[in-house]
Amino acid sequence: MSVYDEFSLLQENAGEVGLPFDSSTPPRVTRQTVTAPSGNDVSAIVWGGPEPELVLLHGGAQNAHTWDTVALALDTPLVAIDLPGHGHSGWRDDKAYRPQQLAGDVSHTIRELAPKATTLVGMSLGGLTALCTIAEDPSIAERLALIDITPGVNQEKAEPVLSFINGPEVFGSFDEILERTMAYNPTRSRSSLRRGVLHNAIERPDGTWAWRYDLPVGERVDDLEARFDDLWDAVSALRCPALLVQGGLSGVVDEDDVAEFQRRHPDARVVVVEEAGHSVQGDRPLELAQILGTFHEEPAP
């Protein structure tokens, strides 16, 4: 079996987008795990100093490393959390991974690892989880940024994402799992997707490869009720600045979703990243880092 060093690829992340990287003084980055009151272990990557300022939540079937290039570009203390059932976090016994079921574990993890963070960022499933988290505890952050997601998401809009997730769970080789990933992510470079697979899959003793995330028990993702209409009320209840970043090449958020989001939160801002798909952080990490950095640095409300 190959040896996996999760932080050994950061120099490659930086080089691909032209960020400076001094290997003699690499970024201060560690992995930490906390046990939530639910009994679930939640793992996270902690970047920078002792008082993280931002918290980043990835999308479904992803993990905290999806933010690596964004974190390098931000160069700000932050925490990127592996959602339960993803990355290095524990898998839930009940196999329940809806935003409403993840919010409690996420809130506890933020309190433990980033109690003074002011900006909460979530992409896709992580965005809806961030929305639930701040709805349940408005003091958890002063700002909320959602990346290519609203409660208006449904199976039709998310079909390209669900189609990928619903593919094989075990692959005969690393090349096989990489080739399938490339087929579903035409906007990304091979090197970027290779890193992503190394972070998001694991080699088994027999040489096959399997994803590092869990799926709901007895169901494929496309069997799930894919709408989250009840979360629109959480948008209406927001009392903090909100930002919606939309991937210009993605169909997960449409014009009606944007209109409804702004109707329920009139002060919300919407930014479209034209050359990005659903995973804006993967397709246009430097542009997203600039958007998030500006949002984070605005005076507290």
- In order of start, what are the domains of the chain with their CATH numbers? 10-157+229-297 (3.40.50.1820)
Catalytically active residues, by annotation: 124, 148, 278
Alpha carbon 18 to its chain's center: 23
Which alpha helices (DSSP H) does 114-237 contain, by range?
125-136, 159-165, 174-183, 190-200, 232-237
Tell me whether residue 101 is exposed, middle or buried, using C-beta atoms within 10 angstroms of its C-beta: 0 to 12, 13 to 18, 19 or more: middle
Tokens of 284: 């246009």
Please state, in angstroms and rounded to a whole number, the distance separating the CA atoms of residues 185 and 114: 32
Tokens of 229: 């209409």
Please state, in angstroms and rounded to a whole number, the distance separating the CA atoms of residues 185 and 153: 20
Tokens of 105: 């574990």
Q: Which residues contact 221 (CB under 8 A, 6 or more apart)?
A: 60, 162, 165, 166, 215
Q: What is the pLDDT of residue 1?
A: 47
Q: Which of 181, 90, 160, 82 is nearest to 125 (CA)?
A: 82
**Beta strands, E only, 179-286:** 201-203, 209-211, 242-247, 269-273
Q: What is the pLDDT of residue 144?
A: 98
Claim: this prediction has a pTM higher than 0.75: yes
Secondary structure (3-state) at 259? helix
CA 2-180-208 angle, 5° bins: 35
Tokens of 249: 């090449």
> Identity (one letter) of the amino acid at 72?
L
Q: What is the pLDDT of residue 133?
A: 98
Secondary structure (3-state) at 39? coil
Contact in structure between 58 and 64 (CB atoms under 8 Å): yes
Please state, in angstroms and rounded to a whole number, the distance separating the CA atoms of residues 233 and 256: 16
Q: Which residues contact 13 (CB under 8 A, 6 or more apart)?
A: 19, 68, 69, 72, 195
Q: What is the pLDDT of residue 215?
A: 77
DSSP-derived secondary structure letter, 171: E
DSSP-derived secondary structure letter, 60: T
Please state, in angstroms and rounded to a whole number, the distance separating the CA atoms of residues 10 and 21: 9
Please state, in angstroms and rounded to a whole number, the distance separating the CA atoms of residues 196 and 264: 35
Please state, in angstroms and rounded to a whole number, the distance separating the CA atoms of residues 54 and 47: 10
Tokens of 175: 């090349």
Q: What residues pair up with 210 in beta bridges, in sequence order?
A: 170, 202
Please state, in angstroms and rounded to a whole number, the distance separating the CA atoms of residues 240 and 143: 6
Contact in structure between 180 and 154 (CB atoms under 8 Å): no
Tracing tokens 């692959």 back to the chain, one arrives at 171
Per-residue pLDDT of the chain (301 residues; tens, 9 = 90+): 457 899 999 999 999 999 999 999 999 999 999 999 999 999 999 999 889 999 999 999 999 999 999 999 999 999 999 999 999 999 999 888 999 999 999 999 999 999 999 999 999 999 999 999 999 999 999 999 999 999 999 888 999 998 999 899 899 999 999 999 999 999 899 999 999 999 999 999 999 999 999 976 544 444 444 468 789 999 999 999 999 999 999 999 999 999 999 999 999 999 999 999 999 999 999 999 999 999 999 987 7
